[in-house]
A and B are shown apart, each in its own frame.
Chain A
Amino acid sequence: QKEVEQDPGPLSVPEGAIVSLNCTYSNSAFQYFMWYRQYSRKGPELLMYTYSSGNKEDGRFTAQVDKSSKYISLFIRDSQPSDSATYLCAMRPNRGSTLGRLYFGRGTQLTVWP
Chain B
Amino acid sequence: DSGVTQTPKHLITATGQRVTLRCSPRSGDLSVYWYQQSLDQGLQFLIHYYNGEERAKGNILERFSAQQFPDLHSELNLSSLELGDSALYFCASSDGAVDSGPYGYTFGSGTRLTVV
- Residues of A whose CB lies within 8 Å of any CB of B are 32, 34, 36, 41-46, 49, 51, 88, 90, 97-107
> How many residues of B sit at the interface, in one of the four size bands?
20 to 34
**Docked-complex contact B42 and A102, CB < 8 angstroms:** no
Contact A104:B56 (CB < 8 A) given known A49-B102, A51-B102: no
Contacts of A107 in B (CB 8 A): 42-43
**Docked-complex contact A106 and B42, CB < 8 angstroms:** yes
Q: How many A-B residue pairs have CB under 8 A?
A: 63
Contacts of A102 in B (CB 8 A): 33, 45, 105
When chains A and B are docked, how far (Å) is the Cα of A107 from the Cα of B41?
10
**Docked-complex contact A101 and B43, CB < 8 angstroms:** no
Q: Say yes or no for B58: interface residue by CB 8 A criterion.
A: yes
Proximity bits, B91-114, A CB within 8 Å = 1, else 0: 010100011001111111110000
**Docked-complex contact A101 and B58, CB < 8 angstroms:** yes
Interface secondary structure of A, over-half rule: loop
**Docked-complex contact B43 and A104, CB < 8 angstroms:** yes
Q: Say yes or no for B50: interface residue by CB 8 A criterion.
A: yes
Contact A49:B43 (CB < 8 A) given known A43-B2, A99-B99: no
When chains A and B are docked, how far (Å) is the Cα of A107 from the Cα of B56?
23
**Docked-complex contact A43 and B42, CB < 8 angstroms:** no
In the complex, the chain B residue whose C-beta lies closest to that of A48 is: B104
Q: Say yes or no for B18: interface residue by CB 8 A criterion.
A: no
Q: Which 5 A-B pairs have the closest CB atoms?
A: A43-B107, A106-B42, A46-B104, A104-B43, A98-B56
